[in-house]
Structure 1
Amino acid sequence: MNKLTTRIALLVFVIVFAFSATASASQSVSVVQKGGIYYNTISAGDGQAYILPNASTTGTSVTITSSVAGTIKGHFEWQLSSGSPIQLNAFTANATTYNTGSAYYSPGTLVLVLERVADTTGAYPNVSYTVQFN
C-alpha cells in the first residue's frame, strides 16, 4: 500500500510539474561571466534568466540598460555553495540605466531573472536591453 501511495504522489507531482512548465511564460536561460555584456529583446510573456556561477567573493554588481525605463522587472536569487537558495531583492528598472545587485560577497551562484512589466506591454511591445555583470 505504501508503494502505491508513493507512486500516486509521484504521478500527481509529474502531472502538476508538466502543466506548470507548459503554462508558464516563454523563458530562456543564459550562463554568463563576470565582466560580460549581454544583449536581448524582451516582449510580453517572455522572460530571461541569467546565471553567474562562481560569482566573485569581492562583490558582484549588475547594470541593466534598457531602451525604455520602467518596462523591465526582475529579481535575484543567491545560490550558496552549500546549495541553499536565498531570495534577494525584486526590482523594476525605473531608469534606462539601472544599477542593482551589488555587494554579494559569499561564494556562490547569482541568478537574475528579467521579465516585462505587464502594464507597459501595450505601449512598448518589445524592449531591447543589455545586462552587464561587474
Structure 2
Amino acid sequence: MISSNTVALKEPDYVNMNITIRNSMTGLIRPEIVYRCQSKRKDYGWHRSPKPGVQFSFPIILIKGETKIPAIHICQIRSVLGTATLVIQNTYLDAEMCPRSSCSHEATPKGIVFRGLEWDFKTVFPKLKPVEYLELPWTPWPNRT
C-alpha cells in the first residue's frame, strides 16, 4: 500500500554540461591566451591560460525538451595573434553528446577549433563520431601607427 506522503521519483528536468576553453597555442614564443565568457544572466569573468594544456571549464544547466531555445554564451578570446569572439549555443541534446567535458573549444595558432562528438547521419543507424573543425579564425590586431 502506498501512503499519501510517498513521492514518486521522476527523471530530472535538466541536464548539466561543462563548456571547456583550452589553450593549445603550441609553437609560439608567447602562447598565453586571455578569455572571458558570459551569458545573459551570468558573467564568468576573465581567465588566463599562460601555457598550452591549461583549460577552464564552467558548468551550465540546460532544460530538457528545450531544443529550440539554446543557452547562448559569448566568449571573447585574446592572444598575440589577435582576437576571436565565439558564440556558443547549446541545447540539452549537446549535453547528451558531450558528457563530462568531452567537447572543448581550443585556441590554436589557426584560430578556435572545436573538438568533440557529432551525429553521423550517413549511416542507416546514426552514431556519434569524433570531429575536429575550425570554428573561428583569429581577427588580427589593428596596426598601430
TM-score when normalising by structure 1: 0.38
Greater C-alpha radius of gyration? 2
Structure in which a larger fraction of residues adopt helix: 1
Greater relative CO, 1 or 2 (CA 8 Å, sep 6+):
1
